Structure 1
Amino acid sequence: MRYENKFWHREGNRFYQENKEVDLTGLRYLHSGVDTVKQLYNCLIRPDVLQSLQLSYDLADVYFEVGGVDWLITRSSKASGYQFILKNLDLGFVVLLKSFYADADISASHLKIECTPQLIADHTPASLTALIDQIAGLFCVQLVHAGISVHIATDVKGLVMPSDFEARLVAKAKRQFKFNTISNIQMELNETSVVYGAGQSYTFGSAGALQFCVYDKTAEAVKSDKIGFWEDVWSEVPATDFNGDFSDSARISEYEQGDQIHRIEARFHHSVINQFCWGTKLDDGSPLTIKNYIELVPHLTALWQYALNNFRLQYSTSYIDPIWQSLIQDVQYFCPSPKIHYRRQQKPPSDNSRRNVAFWLGNQIKLYSRARFTPAYVVSRLMASGLEADLAHYFNLKLYGESDALHSVLLEFVGDKMRTHLLQGVAA
């Protein structure tokens, strides 16, 4: 089914089109901000730090001190990619150290630093970036920002989840799971949609790419014992009828204890951020660069709008839901994003890939020749392989996907190779 994303006509919180009208006066945004930051580094681990850390772990000491800062040590599983996890949540940091996939004495992706929402809220983008770098310097040298992951979220009061929310949400999730209680299982699922607790919480997509969540933040904050922090944040939004009267009878804050708050959250893996950098050009033709938090911040609003379009709630096949239109038009993170065309693209192939493409292409053509397929059919299968970028690079074509050049070159190349194989008796 083909869906369009038309906007409704709008006057304030009243949305209308043709003979339909939706009033979203009761919808109030209590918070829009960054919930999680994960900074990756390429670096060299300080040998004395790694040696002391390993010794502490071997002696079953749960605490480790470096640079005057205490850390709680846990050993990580290989699934995380790192050998050690060091926590100091009082400071607001979780440090993942020493890659499983590289030796300690070579520069590699040995360090990832995660920040808590409380730490993020207490800092400007510039000061947080500097503080993360400072913590990184306790563990490693030759630090190079290698990428960043981010969770951005909006907390909403007055959101009534439609009973057919799943059916109307246009998404790319391929599998669906249902559970009765909140858990962290969405971190282990790939390309899925997950529904918790009678439709109160939804998770779509992969934790290793772009993940989209809608859930009861009040219940989650109570469960994680962070309700006090979030109630302070929500209470900063003045009531719609507040007129500046601070008398005891006046209702100053929009949030009242006991209100149900829904969180709408987009979680961007660092690989997705990198894809935007590979696919997006600035006005002067230079590539987009986002390797740390301060570089990321100007683009948060654009990323938010991208996520809402990627996981889009439809009112009909033609119109998006007014709730989604409001989220797109009214929510802003820090500042408006630059007026550039954001585009995701897979990592461009390198010269090292040409040899692999040659082997793969040669083997494919030989197998198809033995089965006596036509060159046109073989080309159609090659074009459907998802490797158009590598094939275009192999044939020195720049406009792959935007012209018929790759198809024509492949057809000629495959035809010649298949004819040669047949004459040499490969298919005999």
Structure 2
Amino acid sequence: MALMAKDNIRNSAINFFDEELSAKRGELFLAPGGVWDASSVTVLHHGVDTVKQLFSGLVIKEMFENVQSAYDSLLGEIEIDGTLWRLGSGRRGGYRYSLNSRERGLVILLGSFYCLPEYNGHHLKIETSPAFTLGRTVDEIQSELDRIAKLFITQLLHTGCAVHFCVDVQGWECPHDLDYRLTARAKRVVKISGLSEFEYNGSDVSMTYGKGETFMFGTASSLQFTVYNKSKAVKDQGNRA
């Protein structure tokens, strides 16, 4: 009995000091269901994730014609600035052409569909990947984007910028009813539940849907907060590559 008492005292002391340490670190959160200790959550990365920089200007005729010629000839690639870019249609984003480089971690959208190339307009958008932004300061990112933009347009003006900030964590499971728990002013709330399991035994099919795999609060055109399973997103992008 004495040994059990000592064990209980020691465990209580350990729990007390652990809770005190968690409190000093700001890892204890008071919720309607009680106190939640976030010490089990590991923050892998936090900071700028992606940048979408819009430019206005006058398209450089020679460059535009080179891109157009390569796209029309079905070559699918063009070398610019010492990099081989994959060509595609930028129609989905409102542009005539898209240039993609995994090596650089950049996507360039060129030639607005809503303005003729010979007129000054919003003819360029450059989208960065996390691989591009990681390890660069804000000034370095902007300087490199401006340098690349000058290869495509003149009379360059910055006309808009969308910045995505991210926090990658492990050890936390998103509740399936987050859209009901989270209080936000956003009028637009989207909840996506994907296919979790699929079984086929020759005659019967069984499917299980994952609850609340993605939550989006607000709109991308103004301010948006998103929670999603990044490991599944990475796998999905790998399958589409």
TM band (smaller chain): 0.7 to 0.9
After the TM superposition, which residues 212-251 of structure 1 pair with which residues of structure 2 at under 5 Å, given as runs? 212-225=225-238
1:148 aligns with 2:158: no
CA contact (8 A) 1:41 1:112 kept: yes
1:71 is aligned to: 85
* Whole-angstrom distance in 2 between the partners of 1:28 and 1:177: 25
1:25 is aligned to: 39
Deviation for aligned residue 1:76: 2.2
CA contact (8 A) 1:49 1:66 kept: no
* Whole-angstrom distance in 2 between the partners of 1:164 and 1:60: 48
SS of the residue aligned with 2:172? Answer: coil
CA contact (8 A) 1:99 1:110 kept: yes
* Whole-angstrom distance in 2 between the partners of 1:113 and 1:94: 6
2:201 is aligned to: none
The gaps in structure 1 that reach 5 residues or longer are 1-9, 183-195, 227-428
1:39 aligns with 2:39: no
Match of 2:126 among 91, 113, 131: 113
1:88 aligns with 2:124: no
1:131 is aligned to: 144
Deviation string for 1:205-251 (max 9, x for gaps)?
Answer: 3233322211112222233349xxxxxxxxxxxxxxxxxxxxxxxxx
* Whole-angstrom distance in 1 between the partners of 2:31 and 2:106: 48
Q: Pick 1 or 2: higher relative contact order, CA cutoff 8 A, min separation 6.
A: 2
* Whole-angstrom distance in 2 between the partners of 1:67 and 1:27: 43
SS of the residue aligned with 1:102? Answer: coil
1:55 aligns with 2:69: yes
Deviation for aligned residue 1:122: 3.0
Q: Rate the CA distance shift 1:110–1:16 in 2: closer, same or farther, 3 A.
A: closer
Name the structure where strand makes up a greater proportion of residues: 2
Give TM-score, length-normalised by structure 1: 0.44
2:4 is aligned to: none
SS of the residue aligned with 1:170? Answer: coil
* Whole-angstrom distance in 2 between the partners of 1:162 and 1:67: 46
After the TM superposition, which residues 290-301 of structure 1 pair with which residues of structure 2 at under 5 Å, given as runs? none
1:164 is aligned to: 177
SS of the residue aligned with 2:67? Answer: helix
Deviation for aligned residue 1:161: 2.4
1:180 aligns with 2:194: yes
1:14 aligns with 2:12: no
Deviation for aligned residue 1:65: 2.4
* Whole-angstrom distance in 1 between the partners of 2:58 and 2:195: 42
Q: Rate the CA distance shift 1:165–1:67 in 2: closer, same or farther, 3 A.
A: closer
* Whole-angstrom distance in 1 between the partners of 2:140 and 2:189: 41
Name the structure where helix makes up a greater proportion of residues: 1
The gaps in structure 2 that reach 5 residues or longer are 1-22, 197-208
Give TM-score, length-normalised by structure 2: 0.74
